[in-house]
Structures are given as structure tokens and as C-alpha cells.
Amino acid sequence: MTITQVDAEDHALPFNVFAKACPSRGTLEHITGRWGGLTLGALYEGSLRFNELRRRVDGVSEKMLSQTLHALERDGLVHREAQPTNPPRVDYELTPLGREVAERLLGLIHHLESRMDDVLAAREAYDGMRGGV
């Protein structure tokens, strides 16, 4: 009874993120996941090495950064450039597609940050209601 089959021949607009089995949902979760968005945002400024990225994205562990980068690379959003030098040097940078996505993501983030005072005020109002004055 699943209506989630995506026909490979019909390319019109076969993707619907609201359907749970749609592949776009998975990719959206890579992008908007806990570390995905911050990683894309950090790389928007330019190419970065692994540990630079790790310092830039405050709080991410080696494992999660590695995992996140693999997912983004697989989705074609990030390009990994390894140089066979010693010590090794690996640079990560956005692909054109990654850049488009990061741009929109950063727009969202900046917009949110510019209105955080409203969010904070709403939180206080909400908590005040429940706390019962």
C-alpha cells in the first residue's frame, strides 16, 4: 500500500519530502542534521582541512565530523581533495550544488539570528504562562 515508488523515467517532480520513504527526505536530513548544516556553513567561507573544520564547528567529535563529511560527499555537496604528502593533507570544499544549498541554509541561519530576540521573548512569555506567574 505504499505510494512511495519513484519512477525513474518520470523526472518532472517525483520527490516529495513529506513522504517518509522519499530519498529527498534522507538528503534533507543530512543537510539539516545536527552537524550537516554547520559543516556546510563553515565550508561556505572556503576550503578547510579536517582539523580546521573541527575547530570551526564547535562541539563536533572526530567521529561525527568524519561521518557527516562522508554523507555530504556521497550526496555530492562536498568535494574531498586528498594530497598524498607526508604528513597527509586533505581539503574539503563545497561543490557547486553544495554552495547553492549552503547559501540558502546560511540565509536561514542569519535570518534566525537576526530575530533571536523575538524567539527569546516568546520563550519567556511561554515559560511565564506555564510557571503560573
Partner DNA sequence: CGGTATCCCGGCCGATACTG
Partner DNA sequence: CAGTATCGGCCGGGATACCG
Cell readout for 64 is: 561525527
In 10 A of CB 3, how many CB atoms?
A: 7
Q: Note whether 25 and 19 are within 8 A (CB).
A: yes
Task: Calculate Rg over the CA atoms of the chain.
Answer: 19
Q: Which of 17, 90, 97, 112 binds DNA (CB under 7 A)?
A: 90
Answer yes or no whether residue 62 interacts with a second copy by CB under 8 A.
no
From CA 121, how far away is CA 78, in angstroms rounded? 37
What residues numbered 60-89 form the site for DNA, per CB under 7 A?
Answer: 60-64, 66, 69-70, 80, 82, 87-89
From CA 68, how far away is CA 21, in angstroms rounded? 21
Per-residue mark of binding to DNA, 20-39 (x: CB under 7 A): -------------xxx----
Residue 90 DSSP SS3: strand
Q: Which residues bind a second copy (CB under 8 A)?
A: 2-4, 11, 13-20, 23-24, 27-29, 31-34, 37-38, 41-42, 56-59, 73-77, 97, 100-101, 104-105, 107-109, 111-123, 125-127
Q: Which residues bind DNA (CB under 7 A)?
A: 33-35, 49-52, 59-64, 66, 69-70, 80, 82, 87-90, 92
